[in-house]
């Protein structure tokens, strides 16, 4: 029996980066996994490679109708959904607040904040029917502290919002046996990070007490723990995985 045997999980932003690693790890741990992403080609290819315990649905997380489709098709294939990993997110424009447009701000918040809200709203009824649920919202250390030297008000605001919404859901739905926690990664070795610095994180590693980037698998291990019954009394928390950055 795997750590996630009997679990049916939706993982958003699952076609690449951390989401791809989460999808692989969750299937390996015994879960049935509904992968969603706007990148249809990569998402389908990944789901096909993971076998019969995975399926892919093209999905814009900022659209309520898309969420309804994901839950309905996921339930039809794998049964009631009892795990949600709200992983999809964007960084958006790096600029002074006065240089942000309303469109710049809404682009980030529609995916990072509205998408998380719509996902939780769509999945909670399935979790209530299931009798158990775990929601894991991927925030950031930018949901705990401001970003110095790389201004992005929309990103920071949206990631703080994810932290707060997670606590509210934990309190609101605890009696229905639904848990909700947020994960706050620091610098992770992803293609996006490599493009911004280099494979090893460049100068960014000088700010990390452990002296290296995190591997995507390390974040996946934390997500598996929070999704599993091993964390059955953990809810409403922020789980920091940053190599000690925010301890300084």
CA angle 232/6/40 to nearest 5° reads 105
Give the tokens for residue 60: 């814009």
E strand map for 90-223: 133-138, 178-185
Q: Known catalytic residues?
A: 155
Q: List, in sequence order, every beta strand (DSSP E) within the chain.
A: 8-12, 32-37, 54-58, 83-86, 133-138, 178-185, 238-241
Please count the other Cβ atoms lying within 10 Å of the Cβ belonging to residue 182: 28
Residue 64 CA to residue 30 CA, distance in Å, equals: 29
User: CA-CA distance, 166 to 138, in Å (whole number)?
Assistant: 10
In the DSSP assignment, the letter for residue 114 is I
């Amino acid at each position: 029996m795997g750590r996630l045997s009997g679990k049916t999980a939706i993982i958003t932003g699952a076609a690449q980066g951390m989401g791809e690693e989460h999808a692989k790890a969750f299937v390996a741990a015994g879960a049935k996994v509904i992968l969603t992403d706007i990148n249809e080609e990569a998402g389908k290819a990944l789901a096909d490679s993971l076998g019969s315990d995975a399926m892919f649905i093209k999905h814009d997380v900022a659209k309520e109708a898309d969420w309804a489709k994901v839950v309905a098709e996921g339930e039809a294939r794998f049964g009631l959904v009892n795990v949600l990993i709200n992983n999809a997110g964007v960084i958006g424009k790096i600029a002074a607040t006065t240089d942000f447009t309303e469109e710049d701000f809404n682009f980030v918040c529609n995916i990072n904040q509205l998408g998380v809200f719509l996902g939780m709203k769509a999945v909670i009824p399935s979790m209530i029917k299931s009798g158990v649920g775990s929601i894991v919202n991927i925030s950031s250390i930018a949901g705990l502290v401001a970003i110095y030297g790389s201004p992005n008000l929309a990103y920071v605001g949206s990631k703080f919002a994810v932290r707060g919404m997670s606590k509210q859901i934990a309190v609101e739905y605890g009696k229905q046996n639904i848990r909700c926690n947020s994960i706050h990664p620091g610098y992770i070795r992803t293609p996006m990070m490599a493009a911004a610095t280099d494979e090893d994180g460049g100068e960014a590693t000088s700010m990390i007490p452990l002296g290296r980037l995190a591997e995507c698998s390390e974040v996946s291990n934390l997500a598996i723990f929070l999704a599993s019954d091993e964390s059955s009394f953990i809810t409403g928390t922020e789980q920091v995985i940053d190599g000690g950055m925010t301890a300084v």
